[in-house]
Chain A
Amino acid sequence: MFHKIMVPVDLAHLEVIEPSLQAVADLARHYDAEVCYVGVTSNAPSSVARTPQEYAQKLDAFAQERSKVHGQPVSTKTINSPDVIADLDDLLIKAIDDVGADLVVMPTHPPKHVDVIMPSHGGKVASHTKASVFLVRPSANKSS
């Protein structure tokens, strides 16, 4: 049903995406799909990497690591932006088409009041793409 799963990854906050990674592994195996890990990084040095190239390298290493867990083929895509915080949603939405993904799996926080001013990334992505989007709440991990 799904051929390519796109997984947005924040290397600075891996603990946040932890719950969704298990879901990704299960889905990838079930549908025999390729997993594409996508990272968006600032052009300026960040806490994860001092250059965008270092970020790409780390993302690649991360993908290879995940491949050992689920055994499905992996790929990565690093996107640079001068203002990650503001451009994130648009860059991810564009990346879905660029990598040709038919399913996006990403973690999201439970709805909160601040969402009115600053919508969640997952919600924004889901409402702007034709691909299927699977948003994983933090609590999903606790019960599993």
Chain B
Amino acid sequence: MANDPQDENPKEPTTGSEGIPAPQGAANLIDTDYVIGQDNITASPLGIDVDLHGKVFIFSSIVILLFVILTLALQDQMEPIFNSMFSFLTTNLGWFFLLGANVFVILALVLIFTPMGKVRIGGADATPDFGYLGWFSMLFAAGMGIGLMFYGVSEPLGHYGTAMGGITMGEDGLRTDWAPLGAAAGDQAGAIDLSMAATIFHWGFHPWGAYAIVGLSLAIFAFNKGLPLTMRSIFYPILGERIWGWPGHVIDILAVFATLFGLTTSLGIGATQAAGGLEYLFGIPASDTTLVFLILGITLVALGSIMLGVDKGVQRLSQINMVLAALLLLFVILVGPTLMIATGVVDNLVGYVTHLPALSMPFGREDANFSQGWTAFYWAWWIAWSPFVGMFIARVSRGRTVREFLISVLLVPTLASVVWMTAFGTTAIDQVVNNGITEVQDAALELQLFTMLEYLPLSAITSFVGITLVIVFFITSSDSGSLVIDSITAGGKVDAPKPQRIFWALIEGALAIALLLGGGLAALQTAALTTGLPFTLVLLVGCYAIVKGLMSEPKAK
């Protein structure tokens, strides 16, 4: 790359604020005196360099430690508190999650078609840091890879069961069934249609809409506006220079909390499920020892991956997983009910779009169990994960236009979810409905995928691929999560010393083991989910910031 920006873009207005050259090509830097890392503490204890944002690092560490100690010490007391907090949120504020998520999706969809879609992340002449395949693999692996493995079979089956069961009323006149919308009592075709639409609804536009909003707002404010790559930056249009003070610290600390506990608890719970799979397949007892070794193994590989970095570590692992997942998908499509899946993709897409307005309606819902227990739960979950996934997506998306970004973060993954859910869901439903195999339905949630695969040929191989996918998806979550937490606690620096990212990966593993052996995984996961509420507000601010930020950006040619 040339060393002189003047040679590169002779005709571009190359200066932003105070004579700072703009990013590649025209862009509109925010005029601020804040120097990234100015509040950081740098030291070299024991010959290991550290460079951390003093307040964010110290306070988030204290909050994390406090929560872990409290949960370990007072398990019986903490779990009900977290649970009632969370059920209060989904019961009373479910509408808020649903409404917020709709706003994210609508804004993201609208932006694709407006002239603002032409703005390029990183400046009008920026070139992408990653190729399409690598970029998309990373988006997908960070976003929901692991969930698709667990819920691809169980969720369509679950909704199918409740939809077939029809509506049941309690004595208080409230519905006691968990079926989506008006159910489809005894109507097999209707129940399949509704269950697939409901599943795709939870894995389609809405989660990716939340990710897209966080990712896009952060990317614009970091790469085009020159602010640090950390959550607080998207508040600049509202809070201005105050984001460098406590309001900003609080947002960042909350992001660290949600990301670390989200990751740690899913690492712990995921290891339990993976161990369940190993026991089911190979008879390896799912003892504490197995679990600890699984977490150690995942942490070790994640460590190796973050040492190698985004390009050679995370990207490569994500690509490997993408290929494996595609092979497994192709296999299920070919040996499963191929015709049913093929027509199912179209039918389910139509069903999804048809049911979308009713499913996403925040008010006047009769299916409270479904809309609060399923949908609001999922939305809180996706939104609590969005700082992590969004920040990671932002980091790898420089050089893409807003339109390209939204199509790849919103439309393509949704389509991929449709195909995945259809293939796995239809195959499982076909086993139950047409072949009278009920084992899949009866199996424990985490084993349903493997039980389904058992009734297909070559199950020893495919189940092994399945377990590998689960484990590698955990590794890619763990390494990208460590990078994100490191960057937030370093005040938005992405080039903080290497030992820091190692530290966070180790903390994740250590906490997961402590919580696994000491109990309290589910409780802390619930605590992480409650951050979905403040982050819904953060994301709404993100929506405003995106529009505001994009309006002042020059369009790419």
Mark the stretch among B206-214, B220-228, B330-338, B531-539 that contacts chain A.
Answer: B220-228
Contact among B20, B37, B307, B313 with A54 in the assembled complex (CB-CB below 8 Å)? B20
B310–A51 touching, CB < 8 Å: no
User: From residue 220 to 273 of chain B, which have CB atoms closer than 8 A to chain A?
Assistant: 222-223, 226-229
Question: Told that A80-B1, A114-B47 touch, could you supply 18 new A-B pairs with CB distance under 8 A?
Answer: A42-B494, A43-B223, A44-B222, A44-B223, A44-B228, A44-B492, A50-B20, A51-B23, A52-B24, A57-B5, A76-B3, A77-B1, A77-B3, A82-B396, A83-B309, A85-B309, A86-B310, A114-B48
B120 within 8 A of A: no
Please give me the residue from chain B that is nearest to A50 by CB atom.
Answer: B226
Contact between B22 and A53 (Cβ–Cβ < 8 Å)? yes
Tell me if B495 and A51 are in contact (CB < 8 A): no
Partner of B35, one of A47, A52, A60, A77: A47
Q: Is A84 part of the binding interface, using a Cβ–Cβ cutoff of 8 Å?
A: yes
CB atoms of A51 and B22 under 8 A apart: yes
Min Cβ gap B142→A in Å is 14
Q: Judge if B67 is at the interface, Cβ distance under 8 Å.
A: no
- Closest Cβ neighbor of A37 among chain B residues: B3
In the bound complex, do residue A85 and residue B20 qualify as a contact, i.e. CB atoms below 8 Å apart? no
- Which residues does B use to contact A, with CB under 8 Å? 1-5, 8, 14, 16, 20-24, 27, 29, 35-38, 40, 47-48, 122-123, 129-130, 222-223, 226-229, 306-313, 395-396, 398, 492-499, 501
Q: Is the CB of A43 within 8 A of B122?
A: yes
6 closest cross-chain pairs (CB), A and B: A86-B309, A50-B226, A47-B37, A53-B21, A83-B309, A53-B5
Measured between C-beta atoms, what is the minimum distance from B484 to chain A in Å? 12
Contact of A118 among B27, B35, B38, B307 (CB under 8 A): B307
Q: Does A79 count as interface, using CB distance less than 8 angstroms?
A: yes
Asked whether A92 is an interface residue with its Cβ less than 8 Å from the other chain, the reply is no
Which among A78, A83, A84, A87 is the interface contact of B1 at CB below 8 angstroms? A78
Q: Given known contacts A47-B35, A47-B36, is B398 in contact with A82 (CB within 8 Å)?
A: yes
A96 touches B (CB below 8 Å): no
12 contacts between A and B (CB under 8 A): A43-B122, A43-B398, A45-B492, A53-B8, A56-B3, A75-B3, A77-B3, A84-B495, A85-B309, A86-B307, A86-B310, A114-B499
Q: Which residue of B lies closest to A75 (CB)?
A: B3
Name the B residues within 8 Å of A82 (CB-CB). Answer: 129-130, 310-311, 395-396, 398, 494
A77: B residues at CB distance < 8 A: 1, 3
Known: A83-B494, A85-B496, A118-B498. A45 touches B222 (CB 8 A): yes
Q: Are A56 and B226 in contact (CB under 8 A)?
A: no
- Across-interface contacts of A52 in B (CB, < 8 A): 23-24
C-alpha spacing A84/B51, complex, angstroms: 15
Partner of B129, one of A43, A51, A78: A43
Query: Does more than half of chain B's interface fall in helix, strand or loop, or is it mixed?
Result: loop
The smallest beta-carbon distance between B2 and chain A, in angstroms, is 8
Does A142 have its Cβ within 8 Å of any Cβ on chain B?
no
Chain A residue at minimal CB-CB distance from B221: A45
- Are A46 and B493 in touch, CB under 8 angstroms? yes
Q: Across the interface, do A56 and B5 meet the contact criterion of CB distance under 8 Å?
A: yes
Chain B residue numbers with a CB within 8 Å of A86 are: 306-313, 498
Closest approach, in angstroms, between the C-beta of B99 and any C-beta of chain A? 32
Query: Do A44 and B229 contact each other (CB < 8 Å), given the known contacts A51-B16, A52-B23, A114-B48?
Result: yes
- The tally of residues in A whose CB lies under 8 Å from a CB in B reads 35
Is A136's CB within 8 Å of the partner chain B? no
Question: Please, which residues of chain A bring their CB within 8 A of the CB of B223?
Answer: 43-45
Complex CA–CA separation, A59 to B21 (angstroms): 13
**Given A43-B398, A44-B494, A118-B498, A51-B226 contact (CB < 8 Å):** yes
**Residues of chain A with a CB closer than 8 A to B20's CB:** 49-51, 54
Given A43-B122, A43-B129, A86-B308: A56 and B4 interface contact (C-beta under 8 Å): yes
Pair A45/B227 contact, Cβ less than 8 Å: yes
Q: Compute how far the CA of A12 lies from the CA of B493 in the bound complex, rounded to whole angstroms.
A: 12
Within the complex, the shortest CB–CB distance from B449 to chain A, in Å, comes to 33
Among B123, B229, B494, max chain A CB count under 10 A is at: B494
Residues of chain A lying within 8 A (CB to CB) of residue B396: 82
Complex Cα spacing A44 to B21, Å:
14
**B-contacting residues, A10-63, CB 8 Å:** 12, 41-47, 49-54, 56-57, 59-60
**B500 nearest in chain A by CB position:** A85
Question: B47 to chain A: which residues have CB within 8 Å?
Answer: 112-114
Nearest chain A CB to B486 CB, angstrom units: 10
Alpha-carbon distance A50/B307, docked complex (angstroms): 25
How many angstroms from the CA of A41 to the CA of B129 in the assembled complex?
13
* Residue contact B22 to A46, C-beta cutoff 8 Å: no
Question: Which residue of A59, A82, A112 has the most chain B CB atoms within 10 A of its CB atom?
Answer: A82
B135 to chain A, nearest CB (A): 11
Chain B residues whose CB sits within 8 angstroms of the CB of A76 once the complex forms = 3
Complex CA–CA separation, A54 to B24 (angstroms): 10
Cβ < 8 Å to B, chain A residues 75-113? 75-87, 112-113
* Bound-complex Cα distance A47 to B497 (A): 13
Central interface residue in A51, A57, A82, by most chain B CB within 10 Å: A51
Q: Are A46 and B36 in contact (CB under 8 A)?
A: yes
- Give the distance in Å from the alpha carbon of A47 to the alpha carbon of B39 in the complex: 11
Q: How far is the CA of A51 from the CA of B5 in the complex (A)?
A: 11
Given contacts A44-B395, A45-B226, A54-B21, contact A85 B495 (CB under 8 A): yes
Residue of A nearest to B123 (CB): A51
Q: Which residues of A lie under 8 Å from residue B48 when comparing CB positions?
A: 114
A residues near B22, Cβ cutoff 8 Å: 51, 53
B502–chain A nearest beta-carbon distance, Å:
8
* Cα–Cα, bound, A41→B23 (Å): 13
